[in-house]
Amino acid sequence: MHPNNTLFVGKVLLRYPELPSTNAYFQEWLSRERPAEGAVVQADHQTQGRGQMGQSWFSPAGKNLTFSTLFYPSFLPPHKSFLLTKVVALATRQAVAEITGENAWIKWPNDIYLNDKKIAGILLQASLQGSRLQYAIAGIGLNVNQTHFPAALTRASSLALLTGRIYDLDDLRNQILAYLERWYLQARAGELTTIDQAFLEHLYLRHQPARFQRPDGTVFTGSIQGVDAVGRLVVQRDQTQESFDLKEVSLLEAVHSDKN
């Protein structure tokens, strides 16, 4: 059941039929002890799954992957914490691409897309101690064998729906954990160029005209160039480049030449 090709990620692996949230589980655990780096907590069902920006993450029991991995990235100053987002997104993307045989994309800041649909979300929760990152909990929710989605979630899908196959959850989780360790060790070794390049290479809709929306509802067209040093999205609009953080913009869709 544990991945057999890792040094530390997934060596401690706790699996529960039901938990409120695997990220919350680690927060509580960390308030009492210092679990081993690379420890993984997986739930077959979460009753209070958390998403980005205070949202909830719903996943039916036994169909999908919902798990969290613990890191102690003391080598990273807090303003570089986006590197961890890259690490987790790259690992998830790579495992999905390998297992499905399809190209998967990282939708900024940390969703995974397959065929223009969201199949996974990442929730990274880090804690500071002085000027260093004390710990980081990397939560991954990957829709694998779920075949029905609420109609309101127009962009959500799963590997099963998109590829017509059913996947073994343990194999997929182990593959993600193996890649998580690889990318994390690269980050720790300071191989940032490799990570940045891979992130750019797999960034969803990079260099393609797309529509974006500001929090006030206004919509504009631009094209993603990449991310800046602190992980803000860099968008080219006419002759200027603008950087946005998570609360400042959302990416709506690609602008296809047959539209407008």
Could you list the residues that contact ligand BTN (CB under 6 A)?
Answer: 21-23, 46, 49-52, 55, 57, 66-68, 111, 121-123, 139-141
> In 3-state terms, the chain is what percent helix, strand and coil (to 5)?
30, 30, 40
Nearest distance, CB of residue 130 and ligand BTN, angstroms? 27
End-to-end Cα spacing for the chain? 51
Nearest distance, CB of residue 247 and ligand BTN, angstroms? 14
Nearest distance, CB of residue 257 and ligand BTN, angstroms? 30
Q: Which one-letter amino acid corresponds to residue 214?
A: R
Instruction: Indicate the residue among 68 and 94 with the shorter CB distance to ligand BTN.
Output: 68
The dihedral region occupied by 16, where left means phi > 0, alpha psi between -120 and 50, and beta the remainder, is beta
Coil, helix or strand at residue 132: strand
Instruction: Indicate the residue among 87 and 186 with the shorter CB distance to ligand BTN.
Output: 87
The dihedral region occupied by 38, where left means phi > 0, alpha psi between -120 and 50, and beta the remainder, is left
Which residue is associated with the tokens 């950087």? Answer: 243
- As given in the structure block, the two tokens for residue 179 are 């890649």
Nearest distance, CB of residue 139 and ligand BTN, angstroms? 3
Instruction: Indicate the residue among 157 and 186 with the shorter CB distance to ligand BTN.
Output: 157
Dihedral sign computed on CA atoms, order 157, 226, 110, 4: positive
Cβ atoms of residues 120 and 96 within 8 Å: yes
Nearest distance, CB of residue 241 and ligand BTN, angstroms? 26
Nearest distance, CB of residue 67 and ligand BTN, angstroms? 6
Q: How far apart are CA 112 and CA 128, in angstroms?
A: 27
Nearest distance, CB of residue 59 and ligand BTN, angstroms? 7
Instruction: Indicate the residue among 63 and 186 with the shorter CB distance to ligand BTN.
Output: 63
Residue of this chain nearest to ligand BTN (CB atom): 121
Task: Using DSSP bridges, classify how beta strands 40-43 and 13-16 pair: parallel, antiparallel or unpaired.
Answer: parallel
Instruction: Indicate the residue among 153 and 166 with the shorter CB distance to ligand BTN.
Output: 153
User: In Å, how far are 48, 127, 211 from 56, measured between CA atoms?
Assistant: 7, 21, 25
Coil, helix or strand at residue 223: strand
Instruction: Indicate the residue among 186 and 203 with the shorter CB distance to ligand BTN.
Output: 203
Instruction: Indicate the residue among 122 and 186 with the shorter CB distance to ligand BTN.
Output: 122
